[in-house]
C-alpha cells in the first residue's frame, strides 16, 4: 500500500532496523559530519578527559597543558589497545596505555615507552595519537572524524541561523557561559531517526504532552510552528515561566532581546543535536546512536551561573522537559517494533504538518547514496 499522491511517505521500515543501513549511517553521517561530543566545562583542567562514542569509534577528549581542548582516537598506536577505558577521569601529564605502558602527552605525542631508547626504528613523531578535528560552540566540544571536515559554520551555527533567521539570536543566550543544572541520560530503545522525526514534529503534542501544551498552547494545534523561520512559540498568558506547573522560573538571561522573552525556540542541528531555548535556560540534547534500535540521549539543562551558585532548586524547571523527553521516548519505543512489521515495509505517511520531515529523509538518503 502506498500513500496517496498528496501525502509523503516516510522512509521504509528497514531504514530503522537494518544493521547495514545503520553501518552506512555511522560511516557517512556520524563519522563524516561534526558531532557534538562533550560539554567543554566538564574538561575542567589539563588532563581531565572524557571518552565518547562517535560512530563506531571511541574519541578521547582532553585539555593539554595550556588548557586547550584536544581530541584523539582512543586507540594506542602500539598494538591498538583502547587507551582510556573509563568514560571520564583525569591524568596528570600523560595518557598511559595500560597494555605495554606507551605514554602520550596531552598533545598526543608519544613521549615514553619501555625500552624506547633501544628501539631506534620507532619514530616517536610518527606514532603519536591520531588527532581528531575539534571546534567549540555553545559551550560544547564538537569533533569530526573526516579527513577533510565539512564546514562547521554551515552545519552547526548555520542550522541556528536557518531556524532563527538571525546569526546573533542564539548567541544572546550565552550558552557557553551557562552552568549545568541537571543532566539526564536516557537509554532509548529506538532508532535515532525516529527520535529526530519526533523532535521535528508537533502533531503528537496534544496527544502526549499535556504539561507542554499548557505552557505553549499553540503546540496543541499540531503544527510545527517552531519550524517557521524566526518564530518562537509564545508562552500561555497564565504561564509565569517554562516550568512543569507554569510557575515562576528564573530571571531572563541578560543578553536576550525583548522579542525572545516568553518564547520557546527549538533547533535541530543535524544529525544528533536538539537545542531548546527559553528565556531563563537552554536545553541541549545530544544523541549517541548505539545500534539500529538503540540510542543513548544525554540531555543537559543549562542555567545562568548565579542561579546554580545560589543553590536554587531547578527541579520544577527541569521537570517540564524531562516529562516531554520521557513521553517522546516512550512514543519512539512504541514505534520501533512496528518498523520491522510487514505493515510498514513501504513506510508510513507524513501528514501535511509533518512535511518538513521529508526534508530530513531526503538529507539522510542523499548522504547514504553518496557512499
Return residues touching Fe ion (CB under 5 A).
Answer: 328
CB 344 to Fe ion: min, Å: 21
For residue 176 the three cell numbers come to 557557553
Q: Which does 328 bind (CB under 5 to 8 A by kind): ligand FES, Fe ion, none?
A: Fe ion
According to CB under 6 A, which one of 76, 213, 307, 314 is a site residue for ligand FES? 76
Q: Which does 270 bind (CB under 5 to 8 A by kind): Fe ion, ligand FES, none?
A: none
Q: Which CB atom, from 121 or from 313, has the smaller least distance to ligand FES?
A: 121
CB 105 to ligand FES: min, Å: 15
Query: Residue count at the site for ligand FES (CB under 6 A)?
Result: 9
CB 320 to Fe ion: min, Å: 12
CB 102 to ligand FES: min, Å: 4
CB 294 to ligand FES: min, Å: 29
Q: Which CB atom, from 112 or from 236, has the smaller least distance to ligand FES?
A: 112
**Pair 129, 108: CB distance under 8 Å:** yes
CB 238 to Fe ion: min, Å: 22
Q: Which CB atom, from 197 or from 328, has the smaller least distance to Fe ion?
A: 328
Q: How many CB atoms lie within 10 A of CB 82?
A: 15
Between 315-339 and 192-200, two packed helices, what is the crossing angle to 10 degrees? 120
Alpha-carbon distance of 329 to 70, in angstroms, equals 33
Q: Which CB atom, from 134 or from 266, has the smaller least distance to Fe ion?
A: 266
**Residue 79 lies near ligand FES (rule: CB under 6 A):** yes
Q: In 3D, which of 150, 157, 154, 163 has the Cα closest to residue 136? A: 157
Q: Are strands 103-105 and 94-96 parallel, antiparallel or unpaired?
A: antiparallel
CB 106 to ligand FES: min, Å: 17
**Residue 72 lies near ligand FES (rule: CB under 6 A):** no
According to CB under 6 A, which one of 102, 140, 192, 227 is a site residue for ligand FES? 102
According to CB under 6 A, which one of 3, 81, 180, 351 is a site residue for ligand FES? 81
**Residue 190 lies near ligand FES (rule: CB under 6 A):** no
**Residue 99 lies near ligand FES (rule: CB under 6 A):** yes
Point out the residue whose Cβ comes nearest to Fe ion.
328
**Residue 114 lies near ligand FES (rule: CB under 6 A):** no
Q: Which stretch binds ligand FES (CB under 6 A): 19-27, 94-102, 321-329, 357-365?
A: 94-102
**Residue 78 lies near ligand FES (rule: CB under 6 A):** yes
Q: Which CB atom, from 91 or from 159, has the smaller least distance to ligand FES?
A: 91
**Residue 97 lies near ligand FES (rule: CB under 6 A):** yes
Alpha-carbon distance of 267 to 276, in angstroms, equals 6
**Pair 39, 139: CB distance under 8 Å:** yes
Q: Which does 363 bind (CB under 5 to 8 A by kind): ligand FES, Fe ion, none?
A: none
Interacting residue ranges for ligand FES, rule: CB under 6 A: 76, 78-79, 81, 97, 99-102
Amino acid at each position: 500500500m502506498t500513500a496517496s499522491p498528496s501525502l509523503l511517505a516516510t522512509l521504509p521500515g528497514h531504514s530503522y532496523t537494518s544493521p547495514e543501513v545503520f553501518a552506512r549511517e555511522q560511516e557517512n553521517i556520524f563519522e563524516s559530519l561534526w558531532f557534538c561530543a562533550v560539554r567543554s566545562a566538564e574538561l575542567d583542567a589539563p588532563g581531565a578527559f572524557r571518552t565518547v562514542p562517535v560512530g563506531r569509534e571511541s574519541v578521547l577528549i582532553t585539555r593539554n597543558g595550556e588548557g586547550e581542548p584536544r581530541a584523539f582516537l582512543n586507540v594506542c598506536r602500539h598494538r591498538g589497545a583502547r587507551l582510556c577505558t573509563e568514560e571520564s577521569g583525569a591524568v596528570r601529564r600523560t595518557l598511559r596505555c595500560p597494555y605495554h605502558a606507551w605514554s602520550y602527552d596531552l598533545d598526543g605525542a608519544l613521549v615514553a615507552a619501555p625500552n624506547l631508547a633501544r628501539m631506534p626504528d620507532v619514530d616517536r613523531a610518527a606514532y603519536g595519537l591520531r588527532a581528531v578535528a575539534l571546534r567549540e560552540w555553545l559551550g560544547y566540544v564538537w569533533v569530526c572524524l573526516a579527513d577533510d571536515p565539512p564546514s562547521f559554520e554551515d552545519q552547526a551555527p548555520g542550522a541556528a541561523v536557518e531556524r532563527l533567521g538571525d546569526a546573533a539570536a542564539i548567541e544572546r543566550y550565552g550558552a557557553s557561559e551557562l552552568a549545568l543544572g541537571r543532566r539526564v541520560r536516557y537509554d532509548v530503545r529506538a532508532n535515532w531517526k525516529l527520535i529526530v522525526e519526533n523532535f521535528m514534529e508537533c502533531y503528537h503534542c496534544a496527544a502526549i504532552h499535556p504539561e507542554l501544551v499548557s505552557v505553549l498552547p499553540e503546540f496543541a494545534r499540531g503544527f510545527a510552528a517552531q519550524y517557521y523561520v524566526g518564530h518562537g512559540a509564545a508562552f500561555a498568558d497564565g504561564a509565569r515561566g517554562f516550568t512543569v506547573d507554569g510557575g515562576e522560573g528564573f530571571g531572563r538571561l541578560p543578553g536576550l532581546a525583548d522579542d525572545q522573552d516568553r518564547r520557546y525556540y527549538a533547533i535541530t542541528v543535524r544529525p544528533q543535536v536538539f537545542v531548546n531555548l527559553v528565556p531563563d535556560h537552554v536545553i541541549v540534547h545530544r544523541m549517541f546512536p548505539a545500534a539500529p534500535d538503540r540510542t543513548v540521549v544525554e540531555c543537559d539543562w543549562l542555567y545562568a551561573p548565579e542561579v546554580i551558585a545560589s543553590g536554587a532548586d531547578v527541579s520544577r524547571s527541569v521537570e517540564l522537559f524531562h516529562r516531554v523527553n520521557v513521553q517522546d521516548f516512550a512514543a519512539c519505543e512504541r514505534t520501533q517494533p512496528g518498523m520491522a512489521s510487514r505493515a510498514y515495509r513501504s513506510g508510513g505517511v507524513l501528514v501535511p504538518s509533518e512535511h518538513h520531515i521529508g526534508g530530513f529523509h531526503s538529507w539522510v538518503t542523499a548522504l547514504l547514496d553518496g557512499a
